[in-house]
Each structure stands twice: as structure tokens, then as C-alpha cells.
Structure 1
């Protein structure tokens, strides 16, 4: 299965370490509160021992006991507040820091030389605040530490008797945090530089994949047109070879686009009740040609289960796993199926490939990590497949596991799908299908890339459509049509949605439309905001485009039949 296991880039490590900076800060604040609760018993027990050893008055011990009760209760309340309301709250942090330094000042002030070790905790807390919350908090904590030392010196006679000791403690309280401050600034600068480099890489990948998808998309459409031409056997074989190579390039750019989209943090889960069996059938159909090329028998065990999940993200996950199986287990059968586990649904992909050695298994989900054994033949891909799967599973709250045995094959399991009841669907009126569903369909095609425009027009006309092609928003022209197919970016600050809205206004009805894009499909869907408009990502397989057009036409016919009962 996945042998894509190579060295992580520096930016990848930084992204893995700081991928969720907000969550990281929330966790550190909670961990600080937990450490406080753990230390309290030892801290106050020692202070109580020091107070008794100094033969302090009963009145002081009573005051100390009341303060101890207050400190414990307030620390518990502070922990509960952090758990219930995580996040950054300035007043709460100010209270937390003051809370700790007042307690340490009180402790150092009452115990003469016996409480001198509390200084170690003071220095630890000071450095800890800086490491947890950043350089500004380190400066504030250092000032609080110096005030604590000054206050202790005023109240503790033993400290006043040894001014050089006090001076040493104050100098240490300044030098250590100052050195930490310099290191923190360097780390933050290095992190920001790495983050900027990573974002620049993501922007480059997104733009490069978009620009290269345009010609790939046009080539795929021209290939589809060639398939319908009267070619000889040799010529048809060459077309098949070109198509096979093109699909390899297409999968590579799909991985690059997926990873750049994940890096941008713009992917969000959109759950709905979906037919898992239908998703798996679509994936099998999409990979049937690739399986044939690889000599793989792609088997599917059907399921009637429905689950609440994002169908687009789940499809991307399973597609990546199946693609790896086809690459790394050529000539062997691959099985896709489902299993019920602890009330949840899991999807399993099994292959009978060569398997993966145990030492490589912990690294399989890392980016750009590839196993290259001596004598291995080159395999397409850059090692992003399972990394994309893992990151999508984190977004969706699913578990992904992999087990493999050399010589026996590999299994990847996507677990944790929430099973739901099959939704009730209303019966649709029967529609008599003509011999060719697309004959006479009037299509307005808007695309600013001339090669894509030409290839798409030729393909649509071969399917029987009547095509009006435009490179820009067709303002002032006759736009009477049955369907709009438009690119998303049309230039001159115009989008495909602007084009669709204009054509709908001109026709006075809600025409069906399709948006084609080389950008991230989810981002475009969010920008469009209309679930009734299909978003197709370049390069599009001709079969996908045709099935989408047919689905829209059938839906339009059903609406027409429903609106005119006499025609039923």
C-alpha cells in the first residue's frame, strides 16, 4: 500500500508543531492550573513546617490557614473556569500570575532562611510564564518576581542581614529571564520566517496547480473528442497511452492542490446524511480505468448504510487510499468494504501487495516520506496521499489506522463514521428518456481560456448540444439557453456566479448552471453559496461532466412535470 515515506521539510515540522496555535495556548494555561493544584499541598506543607519551626504566633498560623484555604479554593475555581471557558482572557491571566506571586511572596516573607528554597519556585514560575505565553508575559513575570523579592527583603529580617545574597537572587531573577527573552524572540522570529515560507509554498502550489490544470483540463477534453473520432487501432492505443499519462499528472496536481488547501486552513466540514454505498460505488467507477491499467481487480462489498459525514472530504480520503493501493499493489486484487465497529461504521481497503516493513509503519502518514528500497522501480507520486488522509480525518473527527505485513498486503481502515437512518425520499414522477438525452440542449459556455473553451465546445457538440461560446460575460448579447457552464474566474473582477446571475435575469428564470474551477472546490462553493450549483474541479473527466449535465436536465424535467400535472 503506501510506501510514500520521505523526509519531512522544515516547514512541515513547524506546521505540525504549531498547526493549531490557539489550542496550544489553551492547553498550556490548563496545564499550568493542573501543576498549581499538584504543587499546592507540598508547597503549603513546607511553609507550615517553616512557620512552626520559627515558633511563630498562633495568630499568624490562623491567618496562614485562612490564606491557605483561600488559595486552594481560588485555584480550583480558576481551573474550572479554564476548562469551561478555554481561550485567552487577559484579566484571568493577570489574576493567575498575581495569585502565584502573592503566595510565593507571603511564603518567603514569613520563614526566615527556611523558606529561601521558595526562590527556586519563583524563578521556575517566572521562566514558565514566558515559555507558556510569550515574551511580554515573561517581562511582566520578571517585574512581579523583582517586586516579590523586594517585598520579602522588607519583611524578612534574615534576608536583610545578607544583602549580597539578596543582590545575587535579584541579579539571577533578571539575567535568567533576560536570556530566555532573547531566545524566545529568536524562536518566534524563526517560527514566523518558517510560517511565512510555508505560506509562500502553499500559495505557489495553489497557483501552480491552478495554472497547470488549465492545459491538463483542455488536453483531457481533446482526448475525449479523439476517442469519438474514427481512429485506427494503433492511433487509439496512442490516445489511451496519452490519457493514462495525463491521469498520472492529474492525480499529482490534485495532491498538490489538496495539501495547499489544507495548509491554508480554509477547509471546513459540511456534514450531511449520505449513502456510503453510493460513495463507494462512485469511487470504484472513477478508478475502474486506472485499475484496468494496473491489472488490478477492484472489488466492492456493497453496503446500505447511511452516515452523517462530509461526502466531499470522505471521497477525497478514500480516493487517496485506493489510488495508493493501485500504485503499490499492481496485478493484485483490491477490496473495498464496510464493517460495524462499536456502533460506528468503518470503511476498509485491503490489498494483497508486497506489504510494508514494520520499521516504516510509524512514518507512513508523514508528508513527502517515501520508502525506497534498493532496486525498487520508480512509482508516481510524491508521498502526500496518506498525509492528506490523516489531516482530513483530523478535521472530520475520524480515526485512520494502517496495518501491513510483508508478503501479505496492507489494510487501511477509516473508522468512526456516525451511522444514521436512511432518509425518506419522495417518489419522483417517471420521465420518458429520449434516445439521446443531450440532443438539442442549448448550452451557454463561458470560459476565458481559449483552448479549454474550444475543447469543451467540441465535446458538447459531439454529445448533441447546441453551444454558444463566450470568453467573457456576454453582456448585451442574446443569452437564451437551457444550461450555463462557466469558469469561476472570468477576469475583470467577474466571477462565474456573476455570469450565472446575469443570464438568469436575462432569461427571467432560475436556469440550471455548472461552475468549473481550477481552484479549491470547497472555497469556490463557499463563495458561491448556492448548493444547487454543481462545482466541478479541473481537470474534469468527460464522463463526470456528462453525468452532471444529465442530472441537471433530469432535475429540470422533474420540476417541469411537477409544475404541469397534466403532462404526467
Structure 2
């Protein structure tokens, strides 16, 4: 408990924020209480002794009550921290006790308690600003009841009717004015929230429609690469692929922001090898590094951490993309370091660096460093904002340091290190990767362009492909693998197709779902957790790797 109290005192400035760095109204109110109650208590003691009044039994009882109320305030804060969130009973208990304490103190203190009325007004307005108009109404009612009780028990107040009338009018007019302003603010907030939700809905729908052509173009480009093109034609394909990847990265940033705004992202923690994630990111960015003349190096590590691999990959990917974009022609180093028992991921580049005046705003949405004469760069300034928001979601921290002319370093810190998991022998046994020749694939996709492009690509890899644009009812569906889109029209999903094919064959046939929707939404509909879900647009190499992994698993 002592350590907890020291932590509260040490972090008093930021303690009103929860673990996700979101403002907590109850925690803020509890913090205010533990600060102000001792100050009021001190004022009352000093004022009583300075007035020369004899201590009556009632005053002694008041001092005892205040003495108990101070640790009670800390206990209430402790409860808020341990059990955060909305607790109606706790709020009512805190409000009633606040007004009882102030009423008791002012009722027995005589003239010296008049300045304490400012606390009644402050607590009343504070409850309204923190909790909303309904609480402001309740607090105002309690304040008026408190004034009535004080006037009844305090002889000085009874002898000052004009002072009491002034206090009553103030206790009504100020909260009323605040109530009007709060209603206006709430209306403006609701309008802004609705506009933001409309934007998110539009981006979610547009993202699904945009994924399809980007995914199809990516597949057609992969087919062209295997078409024995000449040197000039191969260069043109490379240029098309490079432009497509630029569009894809921009599109992914907009999609990430839309998904974060929707509040649908949750972290699913698991034990992962951080080295494999870093190497995979390096492989994914090898072409982009080659195009920008960057030597992308990864320091190998065998550490395991507990994190959400998908969200962490998105964070590192955004940082590496920025390094490739803003530090072309130089080395980029990705590595790890142990800090205070936690693992940090660091990305270093040798670019031109960032001027100090830009550093405080780099994590703002759509903020980009622009100097006179700078060449245009792709992107809209969302990368670091996405990184920071995902870090908050997972309880991590992100920092950036940069020196003009020397480069920039971005650090993701706070990853929990775990012991290397013990794998069963049949899991760690490695077999030679089998070729895809002769693999019978049932491909189901309602978009004709994607169906054709994927079919051509699979056949070039040696697969025997049966192409269908809907649930293949009444047809021979003998196959070794099902690759299906999720939404297929006619109230049919990829899950329906997989279940149908497995029933017809009487076998647990491996399957892959490729979708343009949010992965979490699709996962809720898929009953088999072993079915991988790939998000469009997908790189052909990723699809091939997944097919090889499923075939290897089925042969074990």
C-alpha cells in the first residue's frame, strides 16, 4: 500500500489517465479529492485556532470526522484504480459524502467557514463537468440542501440573510449556466461523433470495394512476371508493381485509421518469436528497400515476447516504411534491446534527420514535415499516428529521437519478455517443402477478375484448379485445398462453402479464406480456428507460402 501511495504522489500529474492513456473522470475526481480535502482541513484548523474560539464538543467531533475522511478519500481512489469504469453506486456514495463533509464543517465553524462555500460551488460544477448534465442537476440539489442545513445549524449564517441569499442564487445561477453550456457542448460532440462514424462507415465500405481491384492487379502482375517477358517489359512490370505498392500502403494507412476509429480493434496476446517477426518484415520490404537504394538489416534475436503479432507487425511496418521513404540511399537497422527488464524494438536510419521544432507534432494525424523546396513524398502523414494509437492499445510506449544530418531512431518499448515455449517433437520436425505440382485447389471467388487472376497464378505454380464463382452445389468438389472469398452473394459466405465441401468429401479439407473485410469480423463467423484468414490485397508470395504451409501440415 505504501508503494502504491508513493506511486500516486510521484505521478500525480498524469494519474487521471487509465492504462490505455484515456482520461478517467472518476479517477480525476478522486485525485482532486485527495488534494483538496487536506487543504480544507488545514484551513479549518488554522482558522479555528486563529479566531481564539474555545473548542466545543461539536468542533472536536468535526475534526475527528475530517481526520477519518482524509484516509477515506485515499481508499476511494484506491478502489477507483483497482476497479475502473462506471460505478453508479460509487459515484453516489462519493458525492453524498463530499456534501456531508462540507455541510458538517460549515455548520459548526461559524463565520470562518464562509470561504468554504467556494468549495461547494467548485464540487457542484466539477461533478457536472466530469459526469454530465444529469449529475450537475443532482449536485445542485445536494448543494442547496447543504446550504439549508448550514443555515439552520450555523447561527452566524442565520444572522446574515443577504449573504445566504447570495450563496443560494450563486449555487443556482452558476450551475444553470454551466448546464446550458454542457448541453451545447454535448450536441456539438454528438454531431462530431456522428460525422466521424459516418466517415468510418464510408471508409469501411470503400475499403472493401478498393481492395478488390488492388488485389486483382497484384495477382495479374505476378502472372506477368512468369510470362517470359523481355528486359524492357520486366522493367515496366517492376514500375507498375512499385506504383501499386505505393497505392496499397496509402490505402492500408487509411484503412488502419478507419478501423481504429471504429473501436473494433482488440489486442490478442500470445507468445511469439520477435526475431521471426522482424525477419518477415525485412522480407516484405526487400523490394521497396531495393527500389530506394536502402540496405535494410535486421539484428537477429532469439527472444520471445507476449504481444499481438498482427498489431505489432503493423507498428513496425509503418516505422520501417517511413525509414525507407525518408532515408533513401542509406542503411536502415532494425534490432532489439533490453530496457528495465522489458524488450524494446529500435529502428535506426541515417537520413537527413528531423528539425527539433517538428518533433512534438510527429505523432499527430496527417502531420508531415515539409520544408521549402522539399520533393513530394507518398503518404498522408498517418504512419506514426497509427503506431502510437496501437501502442496505447497494447500498453506499449513509442519514442522518437532525431538529429539533423545524422538520422532518426524510433523505439517501441515495454514488450514483456517470456521464456521460449517448449515445442513437441512433431511440431519442430522439419520436412523438405513439397512442390505444389498436382495440388487440387477448389477456388471460389465472386469477382471475375480476381477469379481469373488467381486461377492463372495457381496453375503457374503447378496446381490443378477448379474455378467457381458461387457455392458449387451439385458439382464434383473433390479437392486437396479450398481457397474462397468470404462474401459470395445470395447470403452465402466462404464458411458455408468450406463446410459444404468438407461434408461432401467426408474429410477435414484444409482451407484459406481471402477477404476484403476486417479480419476480426470474419473470424467471428469461422468455426474452425485453424482456417487462416488473409486480407486483401495479398501479395502472391504470401499466398504461396500459406498454401505450402497447409500442404506440409496435411502431410505430417
- In the superposition, the TM-score normalised over structure 1's length comes to 0.89
The answer (yes or no) to whether the contact 1:485–1:516 under 8 Å persists in 2 is yes
Aligned to 1:543: 541
> In structure 2, do the counterparts of structure 1 residues 392 and 70 end up closer, same or farther at CA, with 3 Å as the change threshold?
closer
> In structure 2, do the counterparts of structure 1 residues 36 and 337 end up closer, same or farther at CA, with 3 Å as the change threshold?
same
Equivalents in 2 of 1:539, 1:374: separation in Å? 35
Find out whether 1:268 has 2:266 as its counterpart.
yes
1:229-284 C-alpha deviation (Å, 9 max, x unpaired): 13222222211111111111011111111111111122122222222222111111
SS in 2 for 1:403: strand
Find out whether 1:330 has 2:328 as its counterpart.
yes
> In structure 2, do the counterparts of structure 1 residues 153 and 453 end up closer, same or farther at CA, with 3 Å as the change threshold?
same
> In structure 2, do the counterparts of structure 1 residues 366 and 310 end up closer, same or farther at CA, with 3 Å as the change threshold?
same
Aligned to 1:515: 513
Aligned to 2:550: 552
Mean CA deviation greater in 365-374 or 95-104 = 95-104
The answer (yes or no) to whether the contact 1:324–1:385 under 8 Å persists in 2 is yes
SS in 2 for 1:411: strand
The offset of 1:457, in angstroms, is 0.9
Equivalents in 2 of 1:133, 1:207: separation in Å? 35
Equivalents in 2 of 1:485, 1:62: separation in Å? 80
The offset of 1:69, in angstroms, is 4.3
**Which of 77, 80, 104 does residue 79 from structure 1 map onto?**
77
Aligned to 2:379: 381
- Unpaired runs of 5+ in structure 1? 1-16, 559-568
1:153-189 C-alpha deviation (Å, 9 max, x unpaired): 2233333333222222211111100001111111122
Mean CA deviation greater in 269-278 or 516-525 = 516-525
The answer (yes or no) to whether the contact 2:274–2:303 under 8 Å persists in 1 is yes
The offset of 1:143, in angstroms, is 1.0
Equivalents in 2 of 1:209, 1:18: separation in Å? 32
Aligned to 1:34: 34
The offset of 1:552, in angstroms, is 0.4
**Which of 125, 140, 143 does residue 142 from structure 1 map onto?**
140
The answer (yes or no) to whether the contact 2:34–2:73 under 8 Å persists in 1 is no
Equivalents in 1 of 2:307, 2:473: separation in Å? 41
Equivalents in 2 of 1:343, 1:162: separation in Å? 64
Mean CA deviation greater in 108-117 or 118-127 = 108-117
RMSD: 2.3
Equivalents in 2 of 1:193, 1:277: separation in Å? 46
Equivalents in 2 of 1:393, 1:20: separation in Å? 9
Equivalents in 2 of 1:254, 1:76: separation in Å? 46
**Which of 198, 201, 213 does residue 200 from structure 1 map onto?**
198
The offset of 1:327, in angstroms, is 0.7
1:207-226 C-alpha deviation (Å, 9 max, x unpaired): 21221110010011111111
SS in 2 for 1:356: coil
Aligned to 2:346: 348
The answer (yes or no) to whether the contact 1:44–1:68 under 8 Å persists in 2 is no
1:396-418 C-alpha deviation (Å, 9 max, x unpaired): 22222211111111111222222
Equivalents in 2 of 1:486, 1:134: separation in Å? 49
> In structure 2, do the counterparts of structure 1 residues 347 and 94 end up closer, same or farther at CA, with 3 Å as the change threshold?
closer
The answer (yes or no) to whether the contact 1:33–1:78 under 8 Å persists in 2 is no
Equivalents in 2 of 1:539, 1:131: separation in Å? 46
**Which of 278, 281, 286 does residue 279 from structure 2 map onto?**
281
Aligned to 2:7: none
Provide runs of 4+ in structure 1 moved above 6 Å: 17-22
Mean CA deviation greater in 455-464 or 104-113 = 104-113
The offset of 1:432, in angstroms, is 5.8
How many residues of Structure 1 are paired with residues of Structure 2 in the alignment?
Answer: 538
Equivalents in 2 of 1:149, 1:224: separation in Å? 79
The offset of 1:520, in angstroms, is 2.3
The offset of 1:205, in angstroms, is 1.7
The offset of 1:146, in angstroms, is 1.2
> In structure 2, do the counterparts of structure 1 residues 343 and 91 end up closer, same or farther at CA, with 3 Å as the change threshold?
closer
The answer (yes or no) to whether the contact 2:391–2:398 under 8 Å persists in 1 is yes
> Within 5 Å, which residues of 2 pair with 1:53-452?
53-55=52-54, 58-72=56-70, 74-428=72-426, 431=431, 437-452=435-450
Equivalents in 1 of 2:57, 2:299: separation in Å? 79
Equivalents in 2 of 1:372, 1:337: separation in Å? 29
The answer (yes or no) to whether the contact 1:206–1:256 under 8 Å persists in 2 is no
Equivalents in 1 of 2:384, 2:305: separation in Å? 22
The answer (yes or no) to whether the contact 1:101–1:145 under 8 Å persists in 2 is yes
Find out whether 1:498 has 2:496 as its counterpart.
yes
Higher relative contact order (CA 8 A, sep 6+): 1
SS in 1 for 2:24: helix
Equivalents in 2 of 1:420, 1:114: separation in Å? 60
Equivalents in 2 of 1:34, 1:252: separation in Å? 48
Equivalents in 1 of 2:27, 2:57: separation in Å? 40
- In the superposition, the TM-score normalised over structure 2's length comes to 0.91
The answer (yes or no) to whether the contact 1:267–1:523 under 8 Å persists in 2 is no
1:461-513 C-alpha deviation (Å, 9 max, x unpaired): 11111111121222232211110111112223322222212211221111111
The answer (yes or no) to whether the contact 1:348–1:413 under 8 Å persists in 2 is yes
> Within 5 Å, which residues of 2 pair with 1:47-58?
48-49=48-49, 53-55=52-54, 58=56
> In structure 2, do the counterparts of structure 1 residues 115 and 354 end up closer, same or farther at CA, with 3 Å as the change threshold?
same
The answer (yes or no) to whether the contact 1:274–1:307 under 8 Å persists in 2 is yes
Aligned to 2:14: none
Equivalents in 2 of 1:306, 1:96: separation in Å? 45
The answer (yes or no) to whether the contact 2:514–2:535 under 8 Å persists in 1 is yes
